[in-house]
Structure 1
Amino acid sequence: MASLNVGNVGEFLREQRRNAKLSLRQLADAAGVSNPYLSQIERGLRKPSAEILQQLAKALRISAETLYVQAGILDERERDDLLQVPAAILADPTLTEPQKQALLQVYESFRKENRQPGADDGTVDGSGATGERDGPGNPSHRHR
């Protein structure tokens, strides 16, 4: 069943890339992935991580949540709930455009920080973050 999602996200990525009038090479360069890897994703041969999907979404100028839904990482209801905050920020007439962008960046960075350990099995965020969480236990290990 996972291969169905992998194929769906690959087909969706190819469609988005073509709509953006980008070549495979251009998108790969913009997202910081190799051409062969992106080609394998588009053909449904590879399952990209949440981090790679986020890089691809940024390069395509679409929401990462849209790709997460296509990949089966997030269901549509969760995505709709997550999109309410950015929509509210963008709709607020009392905020300037730079203020809106700053709020959106902070919101996204918090979400990314909280999502990464679960999405990537802790490997991306493991250094530093785990040391802070283990705070009281660390000094005893250092004094061996």
Structure 2
Amino acid sequence: MASLNVGHLGEYLREQRRQAQLSLRQLADAAGVSNPYLSQIERGLRKPSADILQQIAKALRISAETLYVQAGILDERDRDEVETRAAILADPSINERQKQALLQIYESFRKENALDADAAAADEGGGEQPQPTN
């Protein structure tokens, strides 16, 4: 299954590189990797580390999390959470105390919603008891 992700990642990278109108060599130089290594990634022969993916994403001016999802390192929900946290932390209009408060609120909402989803799933499983009437 990992090889499928690597191949899919390679196709995705090639498409992103072409949309950015970069040659393989130009992207390799910008990302700080060798030309043959990048070629092997695009052909699905090599699985790059998260650090290399981050360098490539920066060179392509795309989200590293997007590449992590393509590589199977993150799933879509993880990516959304990481991107939300990154956006909060990167906002220059709020101070560090405010950023931490927002992150705590965000996490509490995520936990609350996960508990609600678990409860709803349990109810759908037939575990609901009749409610007494007064």
User: Quick one: distance in 2 between partners of 1:34 and 1:89?
Assistant: 32
Cα deviation code 1:28-82 (max 9, x no counterpart): 0000111111001001111111111011001001111100000001111011011
SS at match of 2:44: coil
Instruction: Give the partner amino acid of 1:95.
Output: S
* Structure 2 match to 1:46: 46
* Structure 1 match to 2:72: 72
Alpha-carbon RMSD across the aligned residues, in angstroms, is: 2.0
User: Quick one: distance in 1 between partners of 2:22 and 2:60?
Assistant: 9
User: Quick one: distance in 1 between partners of 2:78 and 2:85?
Assistant: 12
SS at match of 2:47: coil
Instruction: Give the TM-score normalised by structure 1.
Output: 0.61
Percent pairwise identity? 77
Deviation at 1:84, TM superposition (A): 1.1
Structure 1, unmatched stretches of 5+, are 104-144
Cα deviation code 1:104-124 (max 9, x no counterpart): xxxxxxxxxxxxxxxxxxxxx
1:11 has 2:23 as partner: no
Cα deviation code 1:84-129 (max 9, x no counterpart): 1233456x6x819xx8xxx9xxxxxxxxxxxxxxxxxxxxxxxxxx
Instruction: Give the TM-score normalised by structure 2.
Output: 0.66
Structure 2, unmatched stretches of 5+, are 100-134
* Structure 1 match to 2:118: none
* Structure 2 match to 1:82: 82
Query: How many equivalent pairs are there?
Result: 96
Instruction: Give the partner amino acid of 1:6.
Output: V
User: Quick one: distance in 2 between partners of 1:84 and 1:46?
Assistant: 30
* Structure 1 match to 2:112: none
User: Quick one: distance in 1 between partners of 2:73 and 2:67?
Assistant: 9
Cα deviation code 1:9-41 (max 9, x no counterpart): 101100110010000000000001111110010
Pairing 1:74-113 to 2, within 5 Å after superposition: 74-88=74-88, 95=93
User: Quick one: distance in 1 between partners of 2:86 and 2:50?
Assistant: 20
